[in-house]
Amino acid sequence: MQIWPGHPYPLGATFDGTGTNFALFSEVAERVELCLIADDGGETRIELTEVDGFVWHAYVPGLNPGQRYGYRVHGPYDPANGHRCNPSKLLLDPYAKAIDGQIDGDPSLFSYRFDAPDERNDDDSAGHTMTSVVINPFFDWGHDRPPQHEYHASVIYEAHVKGLTMRHPDVPEELRGTYAGIAHPAIVDHLASLGVTAIELMPVHQFVNDPHLVEKGLSNYWGYNTIGFFAPHNGYSALGQPGQQVQDFKAMVKALHAADIEVILDVVYNHTAEGNHLGPTLSFRGIDNAAYYRLVDDDQAHYFDTTGTGNSLLMRHPHVLQLIMDSLRYWVQDMHVDGFRFDLASTLARQFHEVDRLSAFFDMVQQDPVISQVKLIAEPWDLGAGGYQVGGFPPLWSEWNGDYRDTVRDFWRGEPSTLAQFASRIAGSSDLYEHTGRKPIASVNFVTAHDGFTLADLVSYNEKHNEANGEDNKDGESHNRSWNCGVEGPTSDPEVRALRGRQQRNFLTTLLLSQGVPMIAHGDELGRTQQGNNNVYAQDNELSWIDWNLDAPRLALVEFTQRLVRLRRDHPVLRRRRFFAGQPDQDRESNLRDIAWFTPSGENMRQEAWEVDHARAVMVFLNGEAISEPDPRGEPIVDDSFLVMFNASPDDLTFTLPPADFGAEWTCVLDTDHNLEVGESVDAASVVKVTARSTVVLTRPAGTAGAGASGLGSA
């Protein structure tokens, strides 16, 4: 076998059509061996003798895609000083584009002995660990193009590759639970008919299936346990052949783009699957532990952990930053994804100890010509001190708005003193974002997500029911801000069932009519239940998979959601790019403010009305003729106007509509209790009955308001 010197860049294994270049960073290594793995498990070791800037490299002519490989790194094993090299461990390439197999939990995977933790374990891990795979980088993208939906026009659908497809009767059995399953017309057509503009996939980076879960008959279903930042998870490949997952993933993206749907990835760059000092040695730990991981300053045998998983990546090390930026660019440029949602993003901002929005990572993203142009969404918290940072990320970023989720849940379950906060949230959360020059798109609004109750369970359970997880119901969030509508769990009571249906429609209506970027959790539009389990991270079974066998109420919920998404899509006033000013548009011949709030009696909301602790109802006027922003061609945007009546109280209420200055006649477009018929007309200043715990939406065409309105409303 010929071995040429090769090049130190790019890192990883790069096939150029005639051979493969290998490059691995390790500052601490004394020797590095490239290990080529045969089909029978046999191993050919090649010592890398070329080193430039701590990058060990070689080129192997004639080495083709499909070749499995790993590394053995010789260097200091000195945990007290942060070093854990051990050449008996076959290590994954941090830049591997594909990974084969899974770990099996064998003791050889660990660098210490279970019976003597202070002693090094020199048992060989080959055959028990995962291997890297050389991939074929070539793919026929055809006419693929990124949809590039503007943020304010986006509707995000959070989904799990397996959970979305595993039980769909129209997806062939061999494709269920795979990238090809999502690319199947049955799934693409559902997403397109729903009207979503982007699918946000839960982790698809290669992750580790924890042996301790497998022993209990469970698995790491969610996938927040990354070990390969460049490799699509091999368990989601339809054929299961080494390297095939890359082609499968690209074909999925191509199919979704053809349907005008973007692909956003939920990425976990804050930690790896190697865990704490008692975890396995799979890759980074054995390559250069002190460079990749954040260690406790005065106790380098242990890891500084703000993620709750055992370790945190060292965000101030240049090669860690390079790894993350190279990974992000790869997924955009080679895999054609359209954006990222960053798990526990506050950890990425911890350059030292505190969360710093001006950290090196955010600086690098800001100036990067590729990454800065895609959608960037932060989960703006971690588990460390000061980690809750909603509203604290740089202008380029959007954020999961946890305050939105909590406030909207509290409002609809009838908590006191929530009305003012509710109004702020549905108006775009300017109190959180405007002071830093950000716009409503900074707020990714959600009521439910993968972590917590489904929408159906949110209105059916007061308590979590996580017994299936085997942790005595101690795992998962206990404070869910949920309300079971009077009965815990399933019931045949028609009144309770009707109320639960109405509450689900209230939540969806609130979400889709709020300023910001709405995110729907997969299956919520179908009434999906997890039977009260709010933490299905380990439930790779029918408890977490979507049931596509829809009865009449669930079909009706799908149609209701579709109608809401269309309403939002068709009306710019429901998805403004700028915050409400609370003032008339100076360029229009009208004194009507862009937004106005009213009590149910039709009076302007004054400060004292917002402060009434038992107030659970409000009417909001959205002025479609006061959108102070131009369309892409510079023309003023003129839209219909809306009146939205929210009644979260346990009693039916009558709402008095504003005077004719706001609109002479209104038409019902939505009533979550079906009390008003769609298309039914209502005159100005008349009275409308709004059922207990329901929402009514009225509209009137542009140009039908009085020109001299005097009741300007309160901003």
Whole-structure pTM value: 0.97
Identify the weakest region by mean pLDDT among 147-151, 390-394, 445-449, 456-460. 390-394
CA angle 115, 121, 127 (to 5 degrees): 115
Tell me how far apart the alpha carbons of residues 392 and 357 are, in angstroms, rounded to a whole number. 7
Which H helix or E strand runs over 19? strand 19-25
Q: Is residue 6 part of a domain?
A: no
Radius of gyration of the chain (CA): 27
For residue 4, the one-letter residue type is W
pLDDT tens track for 513-542: 999 999 999 999 999 999 999 999 999 999
Three-state SS for 646?
Answer: strand
Q: Is residue 481 part of a domain?
A: yes
Specify the pLDDT at position 712. Answer: 46
Looking at 573, 598, 629, the residue that finishes a domain is: 573
Instruction: Report how many domains make up the chain.
Output: 3
Select from 700, 703, 587 the least CA-distant residue to 636.
Answer: 587
Specify the pLDDT at position 240. Answer: 81
Q: Please indicate, yes or no, whether residues 657 and 586 belong to a single structural domain of this protein.
A: yes
Three-state SS for 707?
Answer: coil
Q: Please indicate, yes or no, whether residues 314 and 333 belong to a single structural domain of this protein.
A: yes
Looking at 82, 103, 134, the residue that finishes a domain is: 134
- Residue 612's pLDDT band (cuts 50, 70, 90): very high
State the chain's mean pLDDT as an integer.
95
204 half-sphere exposure, CB direction, 13 A CA radius? 34
- Residue 708's pLDDT band (cuts 50, 70, 90): very low
Q: Please indicate, yes or no, whether residues 599 and 477 belong to a single structural domain of this protein.
A: no
Task: Say yes or no to pLDDT of 71 above 90.
Answer: yes
657 by Cβ neighbours in 10 Å (0-12 / 13-18 / 19+) ranks as buried
Q: Which residues contact 325 (CB under 8 A, 6 or more apart)?
A: 364, 365, 368, 371
703 by Cβ neighbours in 10 Å (0-12 / 13-18 / 19+) ranks as exposed
- Residue 48's pLDDT band (cuts 50, 70, 90): very high
CATH number at residue 292: 3.20.20.80
Q: Please indicate, yes or no, whether residues 657 and 523 belong to a single structural domain of this protein.
A: no
Three-state SS for 2?
Answer: coil
Tell me how far apart the alpha carbons of residues 359 and 356 are, in angstroms, rounded to a whole number. 5
| Domain membership of residue 315 as a residue range | 155-573
- Tokens of residue 466, six digits: 């996580």
pLDDT tens track for 162-185: 999 999 999 999 999 999 999 999
The count of residues in the chain is 715
What are the φ/ψ torsions at residue 297 (nearest 5 degrees)?
-55, -45
Q: Report yes or no: 680 and 667 within 8 Å, Cβ to Cβ.
A: yes
Q: Is residue 5 part of a domain?
A: no
Which residues is 158 bridged to in the sheet? Answer: 200, 521
**Once rounded to an integer, what is the mean pLDDT over residues 35-55?**
97
- Residue 355's pLDDT band (cuts 50, 70, 90): confident
Tell me how far apart the alpha carbons of residues 620 and 580 are, in angstroms, rounded to a whole number. 12
Tell me how far apart the alpha carbons of residues 668 and 555 are, in angstroms, rounded to a whole number. 22
Q: Please indicate, yes or no, whether residues 336 and 435 belong to a single structural domain of this protein.
A: yes
Specify the pLDDT at position 478. Answer: 96
Q: Please indicate, yes or no, whether residues 547 and 607 belong to a single structural domain of this protein.
A: no
Strands 375-378, 398-400: pairing is parallel
- Residue 239's pLDDT band (cuts 50, 70, 90): confident
Task: Say yes or no to pLDDT of 587 above 70.
Answer: no
CATH number at residue 119: 2.60.40.10
Instruction: Categorise residue 162: left if φ over 0, alpha if ψ from -120 to 50, beta otherwise.
Output: alpha
Q: Which residue has the tokens 């980074």?
A: 284
518 vs 210 pLDDT, higher one:
518
Looking at 134, 166, 197, the residue that finishes a domain is: 134
**Once rounded to an integer, what is the mean pLDDT over residues 345-374?**
86
Q: Report yes or no: 192 and 259 within 8 Å, Cβ to Cβ.
A: yes
CATH number at residue 611: 2.60.40.1180
Q: Please indicate, yes or no, whether residues 297 and 173 belong to a single structural domain of this protein.
A: yes
Q: Please indicate, yes or no, whether residues 483 and 611 belong to a single structural domain of this protein.
A: no
- Tokens of residue 537, six digits: 């991270």
Q: Is residue 1 part of a domain?
A: no
386: how many CB neighbours lie within 10 A of its CB? 14
CA angle 290, 292, 295 (to 5 degrees): 50
The catalytic site residues sit at: 343, 379
Q: Where are the alpha helices (DSSP H) in 240-317?
A: 244-258, 284-292
366: how many CB neighbours lie within 10 A of its CB? 15
- Residue 706's pLDDT band (cuts 50, 70, 90): low
Instruction: Categorise residue 489: left if φ over 0, alpha if ψ from -120 to 50, beta otherwise.
Output: left
SS3 per-residue string spanning 56-113: EEEEEECCCCCCEEEEEEECCEEHHHCEECCCCCCECCCCCCEEECCCCCCHHHCCEE
For residue 445, the one-letter residue type is N
Q: Please indicate, yes or no, whether residues 239 and 384 belong to a single structural domain of this protein.
A: yes
Q: Please indicate, yes or no, whether residues 343 and 425 belong to a single structural domain of this protein.
A: yes
- Residue 357's pLDDT band (cuts 50, 70, 90): low
**Once rounded to an integer, what is the mean pLDDT over residues 452-480?**
97
Q: Please indicate, yes or no, whether residues 564 and 487 belong to a single structural domain of this protein.
A: yes
How far lies 275's CA from each of 114, 280, 452, in Å?
Answer: 16, 7, 24
Tell me how far apart the alpha carbons of residues 618 and 422 are, in angstroms, rounded to a whole number. 10
Specify the pLDDT at position 349. Answer: 83
Q: Is residue 141 part of a domain?
A: no
**Once rounded to an integer, what is the mean pLDDT over residues 23-27?**
98
Task: Say yes or no to pLDDT of 713 above 50.
Answer: no
Q: Is residue 455 part of a domain?
A: yes
Cα 180 to chain centroid distance, Å, stands at 21
Tell me how far apart the alpha carbons of residues 577 and 620 are, in angstroms, rounded to a whole number. 19
How far lies 388's CA from each of 210, 392, 393, 575, in Å?
Answer: 28, 9, 11, 27
Q: Report yes or no: 260 and 147 within 8 Å, Cβ to Cβ.
A: yes
Q: Report yes or no: 604 and 713 within 8 Å, Cβ to Cβ.
A: yes
Q: Is residue 656 part of a domain?
A: yes
pLDDT tens track for 537-573: 999 999 999 999 999 999 999 999 999 999 999 999 9
Which residues is 83 bridged to in the sheet? Answer: 78
Q: Please indicate, yes or no, whether residues 192 and 126 belong to a single structural domain of this protein.
A: no
- Give me the sign of the Cα torsion angle 590, 596, 600, 602: negative
What are the φ/ψ torsions at residue 386 (nearest 5 degrees)?
70, 20
The conformation of residue 231, written as its DSSP 8-state character, comes to E
Q: Is residue 706 part of a domain?
A: no
Task: Say yes or no to pLDDT of 410 above 60.
Answer: yes
